[in-house]
Amino acid sequence: MSAVLLDGKMLAARREEETLQRVNALKARGIEPGLAFILVGEDPASKVYVRSKNKACERCGIRSVTCHLPEDVTQEELERELKKLADDPSVHGMLLQLPIPRHLDEAAALACIPPEKDVDGFHPVNAGNLVNGIPGIRSCTPLGIMDLIALSGVKTEGKHAVVIGRSAIVGKPAALLLLEANCTVTICHSRTVDLAKYTREADILVSAVGKAGLITGDMVKPGAVVIDAGIARVDGKVVGDVDRQSVEPIAGFLSPVPGGCGPMTIAELMVNTLNIAEAKANV
Ligand code: NAP
């Protein structure tokens, strides 16, 4: 038996279609959801990401603005631009594309995005709401991970979920969402001793590391749901953390890279923007 592939592209298209319908309903009331991207410098990967998010906005009927600042922008100038967008009522969501150049203070820049416009869910207020189980804006990639698990049809309650990675943007919030979904959660990281001991016990395995081939078939419980959130490049090709050749015959479900978490992250970004606009309009 080969794992059922969890088609993030198909699911994202469905989510975007639902989003477009809700956006049109909001527009009929005279409100156009707006999302602002702040891009600093010329990092090719960041430019590609912003372009694909812009295209998703177009598909969903969301107005997008890109504020592209030069590589040598000062902290003061960056913060001025961020505050301008923060004060603009036509902008419902703001996203600072990371990473930003090293001379800039990332935390201080992110703090200029008000929590109610923080479509990425990175703001300490939104992160704190997640920890405390208070409704609020959740990070897009972890939301996409949960969507893919739901697509498998496997019930989360009582399952052992193992998350590899403990970053504030993927690993930790994904673990918290799984906990909220009544999984028993183990978080692994680079200092975990004997990673395979944990992964072999996972009914749901989420890998968010960025190391090609990290997860091999012998590390996976037969029938497990495996969500690959990692992104790495091998010979110019985008791959995930999972060694598909050895994992596909063992896992029950597998999200591919590309075509799994990537499109879902963008779809959830559109949903977050719309949710903010709807909340502001009291929908
Ligand atoms: P990150 O901040 O670099 O975190 C990577 C995590 O992996 C860290 O917690 C690190 O542990 C852990 N790690 C590293 N080597 C390991 C090993 N050998 N065994 C076990 N754990 C190990 O990265 P991130 O921002 O969370 O992103 C993770 C991956 O997801 C990246 O590939 C990124 O490109 C991808 N990503 C994808 C999307 C998407 O849209 N699909 C969105 C965001 C990120 P320590 O904490 O101990 O260092």
State if residue 145 touches ligand 1 by the CB under 6 angstroms criterion: no
* Domain harbouring 42, CATH code: 3.40.50.10860
- Note the pLDDT of residue 1: 77
How many residues can be counted in the chain?
Answer: 283
Co-location of 166 and 252 in the same domain: yes
5 bridge partner residues: 254
Is 120 marked active-site?
Answer: yes
Question: Residue 222: exposed, middle, or buried by beta-carbon count in 10 A (0-12, 13-18, 19+)?
Answer: exposed
Residue 23 in domain: no
CA distance 1 to 106: 46
Residue 174 in domain: yes
Residue 167 in domain: yes
Quote the distance between the C-alpha of residue 59 and its chain's center: 19
Q: Which of 118, 120, 147, 241 is catalytic?
A: 120
Co-location of 180 and 257 in the same domain: yes
Residue 190 in domain: yes
State if residue 266 touches ligand 1 by the CB under 6 angstroms criterion: no
Co-location of 46 and 83 in the same domain: yes
- Note the pLDDT of residue 114: 98
Residue 3 in domain: no
Quote the distance between the C-alpha of residue 125 and its chain's center: 18
CB under 8 Å to 54, separation ≥6 — which residues? Answer: 37, 64, 66
Which pair of tokens denotes residue 118?
């923080």
Co-location of 250 and 153 in the same domain: yes
Residue 166 in domain: yes
Q: How far is the CA of 227 from the centre of ligand 1 (A)?
A: 13
State if residue 231 touches ligand 1 by the CB under 6 angstroms criterion: yes
Structural domain of 66: 30-114
Is 118 marked active-site?
Answer: no
219: which DSSP letter? G
Which pair of tokens denotes residue 269?
């970004």
The one-letter code for the residue type at 264 is M
Q: If DSSP codes are grouped into helix, strand and coil, which group holds residue 45?
A: helix
Co-location of 104 and 144 in the same domain: no
Q: Which residue has the tokens 């049809």?
A: 153
- Note the pLDDT of residue 144: 98
State if residue 73 touches ligand 1 by the CB under 6 angstroms criterion: no
Number of domains comprising the chain: 2
Residue 108 in domain: yes
Q: How far is the CA of 165 from the centre of ligand 1 (A)?
A: 5
Is 237 marked active-site?
Answer: no
Distances (CA, A) of 163 to 68, 146, 179: 35, 12, 11
State if residue 141 touches ligand 1 by the CB under 6 angstroms criterion: yes
Co-location of 80 and 172 in the same domain: no
Give the ligand 1 atom nearest the CA of 171. Answer: 26
* Domain harbouring 159, CATH code: 3.40.50.720
Ligand 1 pocket, mutate which of 141, 170, 207 (most atoms under 8 A from CB): 170
Number of neighbouring beta carbons within 10 Å of residue 92: 27
Co-location of 162 and 256 in the same domain: yes
Co-location of 144 and 257 in the same domain: yes
Co-location of 159 and 247 in the same domain: yes
Contact in structure between 266 and 14 (CB atoms under 8 Å): no
Would you give per-residue pLDDT tens digits along the chain (283 residues)?
799 999 999 999 999 999 999 999 999 999 999 999 999 999 999 999 999 999 999 999 999 999 999 999 999 999 999 999 999 999 999 999 999 999 999 999 999 999 999 999 999 999 999 999 999 999 999 999 999 999 999 999 999 999 999 999 999 999 999 999 999 999 999 999 999 999 999 999 999 999 999 999 999 999 999 999 999 999 999 999 999 999 999 999 999 999 999 999 999 999 999 999 999 998 8
Co-location of 162 and 252 in the same domain: yes
Residue 86 in domain: yes
Co-location of 92 and 154 in the same domain: no
Number of neighbouring beta carbons within 10 Å of residue 276: 22
CA distance 144 to 46: 20
Number of neighbouring beta carbons within 10 Å of residue 236: 5
Which pair of tokens denotes residue 87?
């004060």
Burial of 46-78, coded b for 16+ CB within 10 Å and e otherwise, reads beebbeebeebbebbbbbbbbbebeeebeeeeb
Q: If DSSP codes are grouped into helix, strand and coil, which group holds residue 111?
A: coil
Q: Where are the alpha helices (DSSP H) in the chain?
A: 8-27, 44-60, 75-87, 106-110, 124-131, 140-152, 171-180, 195-199, 244-247, 261-280
Co-location of 182 and 246 in the same domain: yes
